[in-house]
């Protein structure tokens, strides 16, 4: 027999086994007060003790929560009944001791304020547990917070502010918390008996989410160095297996064992507006991806190249006049104009640059504390997400009225094999994902191209000679760009060498499986390292050295499967980024225009890469820029 409680199924046996102890404990506490001279005072004290008795197993179970629904149900029931007993305590304190809410509030003490906050937050958490999807990251974060707040409040009240039996309860609560933390830690370590990969689960409850958020690239590098290519961790409230290296990356792409559907943390899904390619899998993912890929073919690129060259020319003239500037700032502006030109059909300039600033604020949401307060980074990111979606909606309407041969125009006319198209809702979400991915991919890759050519004059000289030989002047197209073999090697090595993308989107293990004799448990999270995979010395010798020759045609063809994965791996209609080839085209076009006419030198500055989601030089790449007199005669 089941009692349906909104989001949870709680059996009658589970309910009865917690409700009856709750009733007995609370009634006993209230009856005991009848034998005391100050009835209301002791009702308040004894009901608080009753709440503490129920809180001890509730917090113990919360710390040890796992996949078992029964354990989770017992936690919620005890957590709820402890709260109800606390409300009884608060009732007698407010109305029995103080005489009313006004007098209680007028007391103004820190304890009074703390009790009101505690009651409100505790009740809110119980409501969220019953009415909402408790897997959301922000709910898990606040749940951890309220358990810490309630636990500390009860410890202080029982251990410090009271004596006798209350202190015994406080000691018991403290011991139960310590034991639960030790059991949780030992249980996790003990799971290695199942032959799990090496690694660490980090702090209780928080796992290793904080070091990941502080420096995502360093997070993966350090753990691969310490544990090897496959390691376990705990991120966003969930155990995760990380796969690094070509063989492990290939295993991660096996859809028999892994899925992307419902696998990403709540904030990522919310920022992407819930329904877009990185969050999908299976037939619907393939259908949409094949439609989108129609806008990323060589024939499509030939249609985009005039807009790319027009945008490049606009900013090159500007830089020629500036002479000295910070290139990262300028490349952000160029990338904003270029993304607008390709997706929306806008001209380069201040209007498009403003859209870039809005996109930047949106992107920062992916590495912010995922709580929407409106004014904070995550809240601003969600507002800018909505602005971008509305901006794209307007562009869709304009393109329907006046068809264009830009990227959005091709997506509007694209059809799947069965003749279906993307709905406007699907299109707006997919274009938003492509829009911000292209914007960030453009400015980061262009900044690193310019840095590389400045730091390696011998590489720049060879690339300049190739440009002079094959495309010395005139407009570009795909046929001319394909002749620039060495420049393409440079673009590939840039994306291998620099830590641009740290990892894939998250996946989830569909069923128990094994990899390299390690047990991979069903239900765990999974992720594949991108930059770490391309720095495996067994595949790329001297991985910390910049060597375009790695991607000479014969060397590139000999690389193991999924060893070069700058924007994901696998087939093109899988979870590999649709825009990977477009980045190559852009880098080659910009490289041609720079090498045909210009030279630049680095000014004194800090060139160390920062810890951003997409790292760039800390001082923004300050340069002195001008016409190359040896090239232009």
Indicate if the pLDDT at residue 178 is higher than 50. Answer: yes
Span of 62-76, 249-263, 483-497, 570-584 with lowest mean pLDDT: 62-76
CATH architecture of 270-627: Orthogonal Bundle (1.10)
Span of 186-190, 460-464, 491-495 with lowest mean pLDDT: 186-190
Structure tokens at 472: 């010395």
Is 493 within 8 Å of 544 (Cβ atoms)?
Answer: no
Helices 69-91 and 110-131: crossing angle in degrees, nearest 10, is 140
Confidence of residue 167 (pLDDT cuts 50, 70, 90): confident
Indicate if the pLDDT at residue 160 is higher than 90. Answer: no
Q: What is the mean pLDDT of the chain?
A: 86
Is 510 within 8 Å of 256 (Cβ atoms)?
Answer: yes
Distance between CA atoms of 3 and 15, rounded to whole angstroms?
8
Indicate if the pLDDT at residue 314 is higher than 70. Answer: yes
| Topology of domain 2-191, CATH | 1.20.120
CA 165 to chain centre: 47
Q: CA distances (Å), 22 to each of 27, 257, 554, 611, in order? A: 8, 44, 74, 51
Instruction: State the average pLDDT over residues 28-34.
Output: 87
Residue of 312, 314, 308, 317 whose CA lies nearest to 625: 317
What is the 8-class DSSP label of residue 533? G
Q: What percent of the chain lies above the pLDDT cut of 90?
A: 39
Indicate if the pLDDT at residue 93 is higher than 90. Answer: no
362-372 residue pLDDT tens: 888 877 777 77
389-416 residue pLDDT tens: 998 898 888 888 888 888 888 888 888 8
* Residue ranges in 553-610 assigned as alpha helix (H): 553-557, 580-597
117-129 residue pLDDT tens: 888 998 898 888 8
**pTM for the whole thing?**
0.72
Indicate if the pLDDT at residue 311 is higher than 90. Answer: yes
Selected residue with higher pLDDT from 360 and 135: 360
Q: CA distances (Å), 433 to each of 133, 201, 422, 461, 507, in order? A: 25, 31, 14, 37, 18
* Residue ranges in 10-109 assigned as alpha helix (H): 12-33, 39-63, 69-91, 101-107
Confidence of residue 184 (pLDDT cuts 50, 70, 90): low
410-450 residue pLDDT tens: 888 888 888 888 888 888 888 888 888 888 889 999 999 99
Confidence (pLDDT) at 109: 67
Q: CA distances (Å), 588 to each of 308, 457, 478, 488, in order? A: 11, 17, 10, 7
Q: List all residues 6 or more positions away from 406 whose beta carbon is below 8 Å from its beta carbon.
A: 303, 304, 307, 341, 342, 343, 344, 345
Q: List all residues 6 or more positions away from 89 whose beta carbon is below 8 Å from its beta carbon.
A: 44, 45, 47, 48, 50, 51
So where are the chain's domains? Answer: 2-191, 270-627
């Amino acid at each position: 027999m089941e009692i349906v409680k909104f989001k949870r199924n709680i059996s009658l046996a589970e309910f009865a086994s917690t409700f009856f102890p709750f009733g007995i404990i609370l009634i006993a506490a209230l009856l005991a007060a009848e034998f005391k001279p100050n009835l209301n005072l002791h009702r308040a004290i004894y009901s608080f003790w009753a709440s503490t008795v129920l809180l001890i197993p509730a917090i113990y179970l919360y710390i040890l929560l796992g996949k078992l629904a029964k354990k989770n149900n017992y936690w919620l029931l005890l957590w709820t009944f402890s709260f109800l007993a606390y409300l009884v305590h608060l009732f007698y304190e407010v109305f029995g001791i103080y005489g009313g809410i006004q007098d209680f509030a007028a007391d103004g003490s820190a304890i009074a304020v703390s009790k009101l906050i505690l009651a409100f937050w505790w009740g809110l958490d119980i409501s969220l547990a019953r009415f909402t999807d408790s897997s959301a990251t922000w709910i898990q974060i606040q749940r951890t917070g309220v358990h810490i707040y309630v636990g500390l409040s009860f410890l202080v009240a029982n251990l410090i502010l009271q004596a006798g039996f209350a202190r015994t309860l406080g000691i018991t609560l403290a011991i139960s918390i310590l034991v639960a933390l030790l059991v949780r830690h030992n249980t996790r370590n003990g799971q290695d008996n199942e032959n799990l990969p090496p690694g660490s689960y980090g702090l209780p409850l928080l796992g290793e989410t904080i070091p990941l958020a502080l420096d995502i690239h360093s997070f993966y590098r350090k753990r691969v160095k310490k544990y090897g290519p496959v390691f376990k961790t705990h991120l966003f409230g969930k155990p995760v297996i990380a796969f690094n290296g070509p063989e492990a990356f290939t295993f991660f792409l096996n859809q028999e064992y892994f899925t992307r559907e419902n696998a990403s943390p709540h904030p990522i899904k919310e920022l992407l507006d819930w329904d877009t390619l990185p969050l999908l899998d299976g037939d619907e993912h393939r259908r949409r991806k094949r439609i989108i890929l129609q806008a990323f073919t060589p024939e499509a690129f030939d249609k985009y190249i005039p807009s790319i060259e027009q945008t490049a020319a606009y900013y090159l003239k500007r830089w020629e006049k500036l002479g000295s500037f910070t290139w990262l700032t300028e490349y952000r502006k160029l990338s904003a104009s270029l993304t607008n030109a390709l997706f929306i059909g806008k001209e380069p300039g201040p209007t498009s640059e403003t859209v870039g600033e809005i996109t930047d604020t949106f992107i920062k949401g992916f590495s912010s504390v995922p709580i929407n307060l409106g004014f904070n980074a995550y809240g601003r990111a969600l507002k800018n997400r909505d602005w971008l979606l509305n901006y794209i909606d307007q562009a869709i309407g304009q393109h329907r009225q006046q068809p264009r041969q830009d990227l959005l125009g091709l997506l509007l006319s694209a059809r799947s094999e069965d003749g279906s198209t993307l709905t406007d809702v699907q299109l707006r979400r997919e274009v938003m994902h492509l829009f911000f991915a292209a914007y960030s991919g453009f400015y980061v890759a262009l900044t690193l191209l310019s840095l590389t050519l400045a730091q390696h004059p011998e590489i720049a000289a060879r690339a300049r000679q190739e440009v002079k030989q094959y495309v010395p002047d005139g407009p570009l197209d795909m046929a001319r760009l394909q002749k620039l073999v060495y420049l393409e090697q440079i673009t590939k090595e840039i994306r291998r060498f620099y830590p641009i993308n740290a990892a894939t989107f998250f996946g989830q293990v569909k069923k128990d499986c094994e990899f390299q004799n390690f047990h991979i448990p069903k239900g765990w999270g999974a992720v594949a390292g991108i930059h770490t995979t391309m720095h495996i010395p067994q595949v790329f010798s001297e991985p910390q050295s910049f060597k375009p020759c790695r991607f000479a045609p014969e060397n590139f063809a000999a690389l193991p499967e999924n060893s070069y994965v700058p924007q994901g791996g696998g087939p093109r209609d899988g979870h590999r980024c649709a825009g990977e080839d477009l980045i190559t085209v852009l880098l080659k076009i910009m490289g041609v225009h720079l090498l045909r006419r210009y030279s630049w030198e680095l000014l004194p500055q800090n060139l160390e890469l920062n810890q951003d989601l997409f790292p760039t030089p800390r001082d923004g790449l300050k340069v002195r820029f001008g016409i190359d007199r040896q090239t232009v005669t």
